[in-house]
Amino acid sequence: MDLEYSAEHEAFRGRVQEFLKGWPLTGAESKLPMEEQEAIFRKRGIEAGFVYRSVPKAYGGSEQPRDAIADRIIQEEFYKVGAPRDLLTQGAGMLVPTLLEFGTEAQKERYIPPALTGEERWCQGYSEPGSGSDLASLQCQARLDGDEWVLNGQKIWTSSAQRAHMMFGLFRTEPDAKKHDGISYLLVPMDRPGIEVRPLKEMAGGHEFNEVFFTDARIPAGNIVGQRGQGWQVSRATLVHERNLIGNPFMMREAFSDLLALARSRTRDGRPAIEDPGIRRRLAEIEGYVQTCELSNMRQFTAANRGEMLKVMRPMMMNKVFSTDTMQRIARCAYDLLEGDGVLAPLEEELDKWGRTASPTGWVLQYMFSLGPAIAGGATNIQLNIIGERGYGLPRDLRRTS
């Protein structure tokens, strides 16, 4: 593993830092709503070759040569100053790479540019009430009727469906085929008659999840990615990108710094909590996890830079398992440091006043939120199965085949 960057890459870092002097925006631009400011800066980032590097120029990206170390440097530097980079939405982060791999030319031209800018928002319609970990058992149906698919059934846990213009979803199109072979990957406009989005309220008081019901909803027959009945293979590609979005070592380091600040500001027996031996032991343990994630990430970048990406399949899966677990440890430790203030913290409404980690409310929300990513995109147990079976070649777990 290389822990040093080459002189060439350090020079590249200098160019990134120079570019980042343009963030935050100044003058009249700084008065615009934040979403517009971010869009302006992201466009400049594309022109400079720092944003959407793997997306061809024809579809709105900056089409740069593959360079994993350069990607990491950009990530590090953009993260430090909080500058807007590639959107990590379902559209830009998950659908776009899937279309690049499986989409037709017409689909790439039509859907990629507005997904990159966020003008067209997407949601992911995979999970159903009886089909989460065992996703291939899904029952939502699409029947071809002339030049339209007719959709019937229900999706659940559909994040941000209430704001989405489009859904990429999995539907059973060949009811008689074996379960993995009967699924197609469809692109569904959310404004069609027969589609109803119902909110699911979360324990923290917010509403990000939904149920989506389809009752004879019709979409064009051409809104299919890949071949009919081969949606499972297409969906695998999307899931890899989803898992890669979860597990960012920079986010972990920042959360850990916030935790240290909290430990300094709270007291135990009249002394700063950070001097308490029990707290120190927990902090040291968490620091070990954070460092391990950082080093593991470095190892992957080293391998990717040498063109050995396939060999690092195991660490890539490990990122999600390990980072979601570490984020939970950080949030749990913060919650314990808050003692009674955590239990009594008012919810959501206080957050804007204080910021996410400067108040007990921020930490309590973070604690609640930290439970979700370990389940989203495939629960930890499932990831461990995949790592064991495909990564280490262990015997396969028992599975239902129909």
Ligand X SMILES: Cc1cc2nc3c(=O)[nH]c(=O)nc-3n(C[C@H](O)[C@H](O)[C@H](O)COP(=O)(O)OP(=O)(O)OC[C@H]3O[C@@H](n4cnc5c(N)ncnc54)[C@H](O)[C@@H]3O)c2cc1C
* Strand partners for 131: 128
Q: Is 379 in the site for ligand X (CB under 6 A)?
A: yes
Q: Does 139 bind ligand X (CB under 6 A)?
A: no
The size of the interface with ligand X (CB under 6 A), counted in residues, is 19
Q: Is 137 in the site for ligand X (CB under 6 A)?
A: no
Q: How many angstroms separate the CA atoms of 162 and 300, rounded?
A: 36
Contact range with ligand X by CB under 6 A, out of 22-30, 43-51, 107-115, 156-164: 156-164
Tell which one of 17, 30, 104, 133 touches ligand X (CB under 6 A). 133
> Please, which residue, 121 or 282, has the CB nearer to ligand X?
121
Three-state SS for 186? Answer: strand
- Mark residue 169 as left, alpha or beta (left: phi above 0; alpha: psi -120 to 50; beta: remaining): beta
Minimum Å distance from CB 136 to ligand X?
12
Least distance between ligand X and beta carbon 127 (Å): 4
**Which residues in 131-247 belong to E strands, given as ranges?**
141-145, 148-155, 166-172, 183-189, 195-200, 209-220, 224-225
Question: Interface with ligand X includes 378 (CB under 6 A)?
Answer: yes
214 C-beta neighbours (distance < 10 Å), count: 25
Torsion angle of the four alpha carbons 54, 56, 62, 67, in this order, in degrees rounded to the nearest 10: 30
Residue 246 region by backbone torsions, left for phi larger than 0, else alpha for psi between -120 and 50, else beta: beta
Angstrom distance (rounded) from CA 103 to CA 108: 6
Q: Are 101 and 93 in contact (CB under 8 A)?
A: no
239 belongs to the binding site for ligand X (CB under 6 A): no
Rounded CA separation 387/369 (Å): 25
Tell me: does residue 126 bind ligand X (CB under 6 A): yes
- Sole binder of ligand X in the list 381, 389, 390, 396 (CB under 6 A): 381
98 near ligand X, judged by CB under 6 A: no
Q: Does 159 bind ligand X (CB under 6 A)?
A: yes
Which CA distances in Å does 313 have to 68, 75, 243, 316, 320? Answer: 15, 21, 12, 5, 12
Q: Between 62 and 137, whose beta carbon lies closer to ligand X? A: 137
385 counts as binding ligand X under rule CB under 6 A: yes
Active-site residue identified among 47, 109, 242, 308: 242
Task: Report if residue 342 touches ligand X, rule: CB under 6 A.
Answer: no
Is residue 199 near ligand X by the rule CB under 6 A? no
Regarding 157 and contact with ligand X (CB under 6 A), the answer is: yes
- Spell out the residues 6+ positions from residue 291 whose beta carbon is closer than 8 angstroms to its own: none
Stretch that binds ligand X, among 2-10, 121-129, 247-255, 308-316 (CB under 6 A): 121-129
> Checking DSSP bridges between strand 122-125 and strand 166-172, what pairing results, if any?
parallel
- Whichever of 124 and 305 has its CB closer to ligand X, that residue is 124
287: annotated active-site residue? no
Residue range at the interface with ligand X (CB under 6 A); choices 55-63, 102-110, 173-181, 369-377: 369-377
Position 372 contacts ligand X (CB under 6 A): yes
By CB under 6 A, which span of 45-53, 151-159, 250-258, 335-343 interacts with ligand X?
151-159
The answer to whether the bond into 24 is cis (omega within 30° of 0) is yes
Q: Which residues bind ligand X (CB under 6 A)?
A: 123-127, 132-133, 157-159, 372, 375-376, 378-379, 381-382, 385, 397
Which residues are annotated as catalytic?
A: 242
